[in-house]
Chains A and B, each alone.
Chain A
Amino acid sequence: MKKSTLRKTLKYIGNYKYLMLFSIILAVISVLFNLYIPVIIGYAIDCIKGFNNVDFHSMFGYLIKAGVIAIITAIITWIMNVINNRVTYHVVRDVRNDAFKKIQILPFSYLDSHSNGDILSRVVADADQFADGLLMGFTQLFTGIVTIVGTFVFMIMINYKIALLVVLFTPLSLLVANFISKRTYHMFKKQSETRAVQTSFIDEIIGNQKVVHAFVHEKEAIDRFDKINDDLEKYSLRATFFSSITNPSTRFVNNLIYAGVGLSGAFIVLAGKLTVGSLSCLLSYANQFAKPFNEISGVITELQNAFACADRLFELIEEQPQIPDKKDAIAIDRADGNIKLENVCFSYTPDKKLIQNFNLSVSPGQRVAIVGPTGCGKTTLINLLMRFYDVTSGSIKVEGTDIRDITRKSLRENYGMVLQDTWLKSGTVKDNIIMGKPDATDEEIIKAAKESHAHSFIKRLPNGYDTQIGEEGGNLSQGQKQLLCITRIMLALPPMLILDEATSSIDTRTELKVQDAFARLMKGRTSFIVAHRLSTIKDADIILVMKNGNIVEQGTHKELLDKNGFYSVLYNSQFEH
């Protein structure tokens, strides 16, 4: 078990230290009462001496006292449990919130290179396991410890030699527990990891079930799943079994101690230094003394699993976030649309250079088209403009200010982006449209939807603008989704636009109308357009031609055709049939 994991967990628990303190106090009271009840009962039994010799009056007194204490103890224990519940679930809530907050500020380089399933499994399943372990830890650890201390005191009062014997040998069981738990921690970690692999696989296959069906790939998927599942079964069995050895092993050690107490006790009795009654009392206490150790070792097993899960959560929480906005970063209000790229170099990995020494100056209102064969890295440029990634060297300036000196919020608010990869969140159609302008009125929304020609299909949906769309757009077609994404922009009306194949899934008749709307929108706005339709590109003020991740040509349509370079090859190829 990593010490740092424990420390981090304690830090989260620290927020509830007063509640925890209260819980510990209640634990002490409830345990002492629980140890005291048998004592009172013992007195009551002592009142029963034999035939016609029972002190009913005193016995009633003791019994009523025992009953009242029993009820009070129950209430105290319940309150303690409620507090433990509260702390556990609050701690897990806090950890989960922190994990989610971290997801929001993770750099794209992390998100683009980690599987969603793995992150999902951390935030949901691991957090859940963590809660289970923590709860068990809280409820049984304190009471266990207090019981040990309480019993020890009682034992010393009876015979310190035997008490010492018990105390000296009991750590042996802890040693055994520790020995086993050190080995099982890795097994739990392995189990967690395999679980993550499986979640990832399930996420991928079930998330794309339609494709699986289309290719009759069910059998292969099942085979692969079975393989991972078998691995999980194997690791899980190991983790579960080896951890469950702890309890019997410590119990065994305790049984030996019990026998030892019996042996030495019997001889002390023989020497006349102890009564039989005291011996039986000591024996029962030796047993009681051992029980919490057993429980604690069980708790340790559970905690281990919990810590292995917590470890994966903390790993996510401690992941390096994206470079935060500078303290003195300025918020641009409405950018005029002046964008300058100076000596920009960029690559995703150091060993594979992409954009090198790229210079570009865009005046307000200009239209920049980005063309190139598929896979040439057009998206990279968008990643840089939106500051999803930072340039490796050089700078990008908006209104003369380096975008690294501008708050991300204001930079991104000034861009309107429509991607080819349409994404809608679950919620109503309206929720999706107002993302860029949450305070929009219904009239504004409808006006924007009419502008993007989405209004007619939205109207036909069962509940119009209030229709719920499922996860990832549910039953809407790609084209409809894209129209909704365009409507977002039509509503928000940002000063700069990025349109990455924004109309690729829309039929051409509608597209023509949408293009009209775009043309009106682009007036006076700086825009970057990735498109295949060369008619859109032709009228652009600047055309950037990309190839293999780098910008190879730059100019107007006419200039580039005259140059007779890569662009003219691309342009002419469209007429081939």
Chain B
Amino acid sequence: MNTKSEAIKIKILKYMKSYKKECVLGPLFKFIEASFELLVPLVVAQIIDVGIANYDKVYIFKMVGILVLLGFAGLAFSITAQFFSAKAAVGFASKIRQALFRHIQSFSYTDIDTISTSTLITRMTSDINQIQTGVNLTLRLALRSPFVVFGAMFMAFTISFKAALVFVVSIPVIAAVIFAIMLVCIPLYKKVQANLDRIMLIVRENLSGVRVIRAFYKENDEKNKFIEQNEEVTKIQKYTGRISAIMNPATIALVNLAIVLLIYIGGVQVSNGIISQGEVVALYNYMSQILVELVKLATMIITLTKAVASANRVSAVLKTPSTQNFTDKSTTENGDIAVEFDNVYMKYSGAADYSLSDISFTAKRGETIGVIGGTGAGKSTLVNLIPGFYYADKGAVRVNGVDVTDINSEDLRKIVGVVMQKNVLFSGTVRDNMKWGNSEATDADILKAIYAAQAEDIINSKENGLDFIIEQNGRNLSGGQKQRLTIARALVKKPEILILDDSSSALDFATDAKLRKSLRELDFNTTVFVVSQRISSIAHADKIIVLDDGNCVGVGTHDELLNSSEVYKEIYNSQTGGGNQ
């Protein structure tokens, strides 16, 4: 397990590359500061041995002056060290966040379906914060503490070989204890984070579903659910804390026991005339120094353990390969046929059955294609294959005669405009949102699209027009308003292929009719796919595809289908049976 986590850490460590300088300089300056600190006892010894012994007041002043200078130098070096380590830690975290965000941006629809949003958010936020803290502390202490520990051991050898053996034995024992506790804790910290993910999920859900939750008066149930989950986190945090809390006292106890042993051995050696009493005191001082550093080291290791657990969670996301298509083939060939389905089968990952089976049809340039069928018949799946959101498992989907699996995802999506079932607008002005379709669009372009989408009343009713600020998730707009703006956004793109996936569901009949009319009068040539429940929305289409449970049960015009397709006739009757047409 350890070798694996090492490998992962190294994968993340590459983001440290640009901070090589800081990573060297930070610990180095810290090291120099520590050396100054080690000089202080020597200076004091001089004061006592020379200054006091010789009654030399000037010498004492001089030495105290050196102490003050050492203090100044220490301050300068350590502030510099703190700066470098803060810069490296913060910069490193920032780079990882950037990489992670970029990586998530490259995820395909299937990837997005399989990884939950909440866990991605915790990894991008609290996990990376943990890494930052860990790196910062490590850079400050990583060089300093081992230096002091091994330096002290080295000094012990110069005094007495036999006594130094106590150091040789006790240091690995203490290291082993620290290491063992660390190994137990890493998986536990992972568990803590996984539980925090669940907390995140509940809070998110409660915010997004607040109307339904309150309508069903489920506040108490949700509260209990949260409290239960929170208790779970607390429990595992406490358990983890209990184990990691062993580290510090155990280290201190071991060092104290080592001191006891050291003094015993020292006593025997003094008795045998090998070393002096003063040297025993020196040995004792070295062991005490080790103790202080080990305590710091233990704290660092706990933080580092957490950071490693977080680093693993971040790496796991970075390691998830993106299944998007990055071929460099684009689709510019302009044949007569815009879109072609050739015996297409499609199954969602993890699903048991095909969502589409054996679909074949062609759409000529400039045609309007209607797609109709029952709930779950596969209408959205069908149109999602055109911009390559998902790929066919069998058969081929071709755009301009090229198989979509061969086309670069970005190029493909640039020529396909999609209005999805779920109306999503982003926080920012109306203009910002419209520019999603085309970042170079002028206000005139945008207004034209807004008029075509029958959305002019929205911007006319708002004081700031295009500068009207839409809140997150379009909260300050109604469902119908959002829907028309999402249509406008797709129109700004002037796409070669326009897909309207049930995008007039929130519109009243009058607006829907006007929208249909304006879509026929667009000033650019586009092949339109209209997915709808309403016959009236697709009746005028050049070709209508009737889906039933993933199968194509009819292709043709409205009039042809009325004669040939039972399913279509049934849908037609269900809508006109209401007596409106």
Contacts and interface: CB of A to CB of B under 8 A. Distances in A.
Interface stretch (B146-154, B241-249, B332-340): B241-249
Residue of A56, A220, A255, A475 with most partner-chain B CB within 10 A:
A255
B57 interface: yes
Interface stretch (B8-16, B161-169, B206-214, B359-367): B206-214
A319 interface: no
B260 A66 contact: yes
Interface string A253-283: 0011011001100110110000010011001
B25 interface: no
A251 B101 contact: no
A523 B268 CA distance: 102
Nearest to B271: A54
Given A41-B284, A51-B270, A255-B71, A116 B472 contact: yes
Interface residues of A, number: 182
A80 to B, nearest CB: 9
Given A85-B238, A89-B237, A256-B71, A120 B203 contact: yes
Interface string A118-141: 011101110011011001000000
B375 interface: yes
A246 B577 CA distance: 79
A12 B206 CA distance: 25
Contacts of B124: 202, 206
A502 to B, nearest CB: 12
B563 interface: no
Interface in A448-499: 457, 460, 462, 470-472, 474-475, 477-480, 483, 485, 488, 492
Contacts, number: 497
B472 A200 contact: yes
Contact of B375 (A38, A53, A462, A480): A480
B125 A195 contact: yes
B20 interface: no
B343 interface: no
A214 B72 contact: no
Which of A48, A457, A462 has the most chain B CB atoms closer than 10 A to its own CB?
A48
A51 B268 CA distance: 9
Interface stretch (A156-164, A229-237, A553-561): A229-237
A63 B506 CA distance: 84
B210 A48 contact: no
B121 A202 contact: yes
Interface in B463-485: 471-473, 475-481, 483-484
Interface in B522-581: 533-536, 540, 570-571, 574-575, 577-581
B94 A283 contact: no
Contacts of B108: 213
A67 B261 CA distance: 9
A59 B241 contact: no
Interface stretch (A2-10, A361-369, A505-513): A505-513
Interface stretch (A14-22, A99-107, A336-344, A397-405): A99-107
Contacts of B125: 121, 124-125, 195, 198-199, 202
A154 interface: no
B3 interface: no
Interface in A35-60: 37-38, 41, 44-45, 47-54, 56, 59-60
B413 interface: yes
Interface string B61-87: 101100110111011001100110111
Contact of A47 (B267, B489, B579): B267
Nearest to B241: A85
Contact of A471 (B67, B90, B117): B117
B86 A373 contact: no
Interface string A200-230: 1011111111111111111011100110011
B64 A240 contact: no
B52 interface: yes
Contacts of B260: 41, 63, 66-67, 70
B234 interface: yes
A576 interface: yes
Given A85-B238, A413-B217, 4 more contacts: A45-B263, A71-B253, A214-B418, A436-B216
28 contacts: A45-B277, A48-B263, A48-B271, A50-B277, A54-B267, A66-B256, A78-B245, A85-B242, A89-B237, A100-B202, A100-B203, A115-B427, A124-B125, A124-B196, A198-B125, A202-B124, A216-B414, A218-B106, A229-B94, A249-B75, A249-B79, A252-B72, A256-B71, A373-B480, A379-B478, A379-B479, A412-B217, A478-B421
